[in-house]
Structure 1
Amino acid sequence: MPTTDPLSADTTEGDQEVPDVVERIALPASPDGAGVLIVMNKDAGTAVVRADPRPLIAERLPRAVVRELEQGETVADAVAEAMAGQDPPRVIGAYGGDGTIAQTAHVALERDLPVLALPGGTFNHFARAAGIDSVEIAIDALQAGEGVAATVGELAAGGRTSTVLNAASIGIYPDFVAERSRRRRRLGKWVAGAVAIWRELRRGEAIDIVIAGKRARVWSVFASIGRNTPGQVATMQRRTLSDDVLDVRVLHARGSRVQAVAALSFGRRTRAVLRALRLLPPASDIEHITATEITVSVQARAGSATFYVHDGELERRPAVGPDGRYTLTCRILPRALRVYAPREVPPPEQG
């Protein structure tokens, strides 16, 4: 039976202290962008209005190599091509959202290179946690050679590994993301999201899992990097770069589908309104597990695709075994990722 290495388990909504000591490190400085490869996701941040960063990059980092991803091309493809050249990069940068930065982090860890995270997505959860609120701030840190050692996660699924920067999830949230993705090109992100929410309110399904050695029927499971906001299920915004544990939130399928969908909210104001309307699930339905590594066995749904999500990226489930189940394992990689960040990293946001 799948196992976990729990440090503690908590089913209450009590406060959790979060370490805020950031491990600052010196990184190679590049005043003009020499030795820097910047991969750009041209579809990043299409749901928000944002200035094109290329003129700023050209002005401040004229020697950087900027590579825009083509349709179907991955960060790993672009980096492999650059590394095979005569002047391989010493820093891997990426302009995009959490998914693009997570792909970049995975390649950087494999090649033992530092990451330059240029926020260009809709939410930029990881960049914000690192104090990188703009492309300008990221470039400042690169030119000064300032950085931090950030704790990240490694997610293993069917022989494939991914790097998790903020959180990974199974259950109705991946179903929501899959439905939104199917409609996004035609309707736009926000309208497609509204349609996906309506779909989950009508047809969202609970899943059967084994976690921490116990069988459970749940609406969703979120595994956050570092201890997160008490009482919250959707822990997509990490609170610190230096907490070397997974904070797992299990929403048991005891309440209604409406409560399950409402629990996906992660904004403080939104949660306050939903709590006032009594739409959020009770604290007794949310199980907390704090661990350095955790394995979840999931019963695949007959006749339907099953997905999981990390950092906003939708992934298809691995192949199922003879018992009709597949397994996901997430473990902490303490202070493993070297990332450029300003000297003053803000304290973690309160949920």
Structure 2
Amino acid sequence: MNPTLAQRQWLARASLASILVAGLTLGVFAGARAIGLLAVGLVGLVLVAAGLWWSLARQGTLRVLAVLLTLGAPVWVLVAYTRAHLTWVAVLAVVLWLVAVATGRAALVRDDGAAEMPEHPAPPVRHPVLIMNPRSGGGKVRRFELRERAQGLGAEVLLLEWRDGSDVADMARKAAAEGADLLGVAGGDGTQAQVAEVAAALGLPFLVIPAGTRNHFALDLGLDRDDPAKALDALRDGVELHVDLGSAGGLPFVNNVSFGAYAEVVASPAYRDDKTRTALRLLPDMLAGHEGPRLSARAGHTEFVEPQALLVSNNPYGTGDIAGLGRRSRMDGGVLGCVGVKVTSAAQAAGLLRGRRATGLVRATATHVVVDADQDRIQVGVDGEAISLRVPVHCEVRPLALRVLVPRHRPGVRRARPMLDWRHIGRLALGRSRKGSGADDPNR
């Protein structure tokens, strides 16, 4: 349960008080040395931030040196405070800062019920048909005995065998024509999207079994990705979530569609095995030296002029997420999220760590996004699947088009952690934010 406005105001005051106490402690016990020691601490923070960025944006020897800098800077600060016989002051300041961050984040969580999507009664299901990809996720179908467990619950299971030319959408349509009253998939997000499109078109409930590698869609639905078999509990005790469905160039997507350098990362052979690590490893090429097609896009009234990377998502990701590697707090907002990245210097690239306030980062929401380029066709990543599409690519959202059956009891959708915004925290502490005004919305 999210805190009320009054509780968030007190959390904001506790956050600011923690910072004040940390500063006073340093001033009282360090005396005349306080300014110098404070400078040491600030320099240490800058070095850690620089080391973290360089460890992502560099490779080889430079990356090793960046990691050493990230680890060495705190040690240097601790040594400086130890020599001044103020080790306990440094430890107390760190603890107070952690308290300030924790209470500050808690203060920025809204109390408008945005953390959870509404649940609806599940319809009776008499003939569920589940399509399972045995190769997905390194063989999760076999490892978790998904086929046997589903059949034990009365479901018909169809195995997707790519070698015989099977088309998952055709399999879903045929199953529906033969009387299926629920369609489900045990596989990755790309396979999920294709069957979800069929289920939405026919008005059938859809069951997600997270048997892929990353399972971003399942994550945002609150499903247990560590044990995909738990998703089958929806067949005996489930509820419905009504979520949006995206399309790009006529192709469905449940998560996102990527263009430019993002799409190049998706096309990398290593991306399928380890999406997050591959994206971070290729980050330097994603932000500098990009020689792909020159893109342009329009999302509502927002223009994206020659972005090096562009991400269009089925509902927006968290404000600090520039690559679609995080999560969405909701998927029923009826809008697309659009993030464009354009950097011209190392300083701008490093500034992307600032999230939504970064220079070179443009964010927008719209129901329709049009992406154009100086080529007839461009490489696009649709839910992690690399394909080629003709431009212009029209991206649209179909509000509440998909009925998703999920277990009643599941880990749950937790709201993406808000970016720390000390201005909002200050306004909350002073009681200047009004409930429902949107002034204290960290995602604005």
Q: Which residue of 1 aligns with 2:374?
A: 299
Cα contact 1:210–1:296 (8 A) shared by 2: yes
Letter in 2 for 1:89: A
Does 2:363 correspond to 1:288? yes
TM-score, normalization by structure 2: 0.58
Q: Which residue of 1 aligns with 2:413?
A: 346
Letter in 2 for 1:23: P
Does 2:384 correspond to 1:312? yes
Q: Per-residue deviation at 1:215?
A: 6.0
Q: Per-residue deviation at 1:239?
A: 2.5
TM alignment of 1:208-247, pairs within 5 A = 208-212=295-299, 214=303, 216-236=305-325, 237-247=327-337
Task: Give, in whole Å, the separation in 1 of the partners of 2:356 and 2:118.
Answer: 37
Greater CA deviation, 54-63 or 92-101?
Answer: 54-63
User: Could you list the runs of 5+ residues in structure 2 that have no partner in the other structure?
Assistant: 1-107, 419-444
Task: Give, in whole Å, the separation in 1 of the partners of 2:201 and 2:278.
Answer: 34
TM alignment of 1:152-167, pairs within 5 A = 152-155=245-248, 157=249, 161-167=250-256
Q: Which has the higher contact order (CA 8 A, sep 6+)?
A: 1
Q: Per-residue deviation at 1:29?
A: 3.5
1:148 to 230, 236, 241: 241
Q: Which residue of 1 aligns with 2:184?
A: 93
Residue aligned with 1:284, SS = coil
Q: Residue by residue, what CA displacement relative to the aligned partner does 1:158-201 show, whole Å, maximum 9, x if unpaired?
A: xxx122212111011211222326x97xxx66899489838946
1:68 to 142, 146, 160: 160
Task: Give, in whole Å, the separation in 2 of the partners of 1:221 and 1:235.
Answer: 10
Q: Which residue of 1 aligns with 2:397?
A: 332
Q: Which residue of 2 aligns with 1:205?
A: 291
Q: Per-residue deviation at 1:41?
A: 1.8
TM alignment of 1:16-35, pairs within 5 A = 19-30=114-125, 34-35=126-127
Cα contact 2:296–2:307 (8 A) shared by 1: yes
Q: 1:50 to 1:234 in 2, by over 3 A?
A: farther
Q: Per-residue deviation at 1:59?
A: 5.5
Greater CA deviation, 137-146 or 284-293?
Answer: 137-146
TM alignment of 1:254-269, pairs within 5 A = 254-255=344-345, 259=349
TM alignment of 1:28-177, pairs within 5 A = 28-30=123-125, 34-46=126-138, 51-54=143-146, 56-58=148-150, 60-71=152-163, 72-84=165-177, 87-133=178-224, 134-155=227-248, 157=249, 161-177=250-266
User: Could you list the runs of 5+ residues in structure 1 that have no partner in the other structure?
Assistant: 1-14, 264-274, 319-325
In percent, how many aligned pairs have the same letter?
A: 26
Q: Which residue of 2 aligns with 1:9?
A: none
Q: 1:194 to 1:288 in 2, by over 3 A?
A: closer
Cα contact 2:267–2:381 (8 A) shared by 1: no
Residue aligned with 1:108, SS = helix
Letter in 2 for 1:350: R
Task: Give, in whole Å, the separation in 2 of the partners of 1:118 and 1:245.
Answer: 25
Cα contact 1:150–1:336 (8 A) shared by 2: yes
Task: Give, in whole Å, the separation in 1 of the partners of 2:283 and 2:148.
Answer: 40
Cα contact 1:165–1:311 (8 A) shared by 2: yes
| Greater helix fraction, Structure 1 or Structure 2 | 2
Q: 1:132 to 1:173 in 2, by over 3 A?
A: same
Letter in 2 for 1:122: T
From the CA coordinates, give the structure whose radius of gyration is larger.
Answer: 2
Q: Residue by residue, what CA displacement relative to the aligned partner does 1:68-91 show, whole Å, maximum 9, x if unpaired?
A: 23334221121233244xx42111
Task: Give, in whole Å, the separation in 2 of the partners of 1:135 and 1:26.
Answer: 22
Task: Give, in whole Å, the separation in 2 of the partners of 1:103 and 1:80.
Answer: 11
Cα contact 1:29–1:145 (8 A) shared by 2: no
| Greater strand fraction, Structure 1 or Structure 2 | 1
Cα contact 2:245–2:401 (8 A) shared by 1: yes
Task: Give, in whole Å, the separation in 2 of the partners of 1:327 and 1:111.
Answer: 28
Task: Give, in whole Å, the separation in 2 of the partners of 1:78 and 1:175.
Answer: 30
Q: Residue by residue, what CA displacement relative to the aligned partner does 1:198-234 show, whole Å, maximum 9, x if unpaired?
A: 8946863353314257461211111122232113211
Letter in 1 for 2:245: V
Q: Per-residue deviation at 1:60?
A: 3.2
Q: Per-residue deviation at 1:250?
A: 0.8
Residue aligned with 1:229, SS = coil
Aligned length in residues? 299
How much is the aligned-residue C-alpha RMSD, in angstroms? Answer: 3.6
TM-score, normalization by structure 1: 0.72
